[in-house]
Amino acid sequence: MVTYTHTTMHACIHTYIHTYIHTYIHTYIHTYMHTCMHAYMHTCIHACMHAYMHTCIHAYIHTYIHTCIHAYMHTCMHACMHACMHTYIHTYIHTYIHTYIHTYIHTYIHTYIHTYIHTYMHTDIHAMHACMHACMQRLVLQQLLVLSMPMSTNWLPSA
């Protein structure tokens, strides 16, 4: 009867823990990683980087053109150089932003997120899952070992 009870308890606890880990935790983590984190990263990167780039570059272009270059151009070669520099700098920087920086950041961040972070988090979660599984099994085995030991009064203080 004791063996049957211990076996049943072990089977129930093991089944419960295994089911809990594989359904709730595994499903929750996968759902969270694949929907929330992915959408959040994508939104943040696209919104922040785009706004940041446009703001910084526009501020830099306008500050640089309208302070440094503007004063020099007015004194030296106002008509021709002003038109050329305005067009050239705007074209060059916009081309540079939209081809090189935008592509580089988009590629780098997507590569980083999809390879490093995704793989790292996936590996970490599987490692935590394995560790939790091992700890729970050890805990169950310890409980079963304690339950299977005969009761003893040797640990009581002597009177």
Consecutive 10-residue averages of pLDDT for the chain (159 residues): 76 77 73 74 75 76 72 68 76 78 76 75 81 83 73 61
* Alpha carbons within 13 A on the beta-carbon side of 141: 6
Q: What pLDDT sits at residue 145? A: 75
Q: What pLDDT sits at residue 111? A: 78
CA distance 127 to 120: 10
Q: What pLDDT sits at residue 131? A: 84
* Contact of 83 with 75, CB cutoff 8 Å: no
CA distance 156 to 99: 80
CA distance 7 to 13: 10
Q: What pLDDT sits at residue 152? A: 60
- Sign of torsion, CA 91 97 98 100? positive
Q: What pLDDT sits at residue 86? A: 76
* Alpha carbons within 13 A on the beta-carbon side of 36: 6
Q: What pLDDT sits at residue 130? A: 84
